[in-house]
Amino acid sequence: ELNRPGVNEEVAIVAKVAGVRRAMVAAQRMVAQRGKIIMAG
C-alpha cells in the first residue's frame, strides 16, 4: 500500500495537522523502542 499512487499526497495532507503529526511521531518512537523496524516517511 505504501507504493500505491497518491499515498504521499494523502499523507502530506494529514501530516500538516500538527496534533496528528505529534501523535504519530510519539507512536512511531514507541514502536521503534521495541526493536528493529522500517518506517517510511
* Residue 21 domain boundaries: 1-41
Confidence class of residue 41 from pLDDT cuts 50, 70 and 90? low
What are the grid coordinates assigned to 27, written together? 507512536
How many whole angstroms separate alpha carbon 30 and alpha carbon 3?
24
Is the pLDDT assigned to residue 32 strictly greater than 90?
Answer: yes
Q: What is the mean pLDDT of residues 34-38?
A: 90
Cα 5 to Cα 14, 19, 28, 38: the distances in Å are 16, 26, 23, 20
Number of domains in the chain: 1
Is-above-0.85 flag for pTM? no
Cα 10 to Cα 21, 22, 33: the distances in Å are 13, 17, 27
Q: What is the mean pLDDT of the chain?
A: 89
How many whole angstroms separate alpha carbon 26 and alpha carbon 9?
22
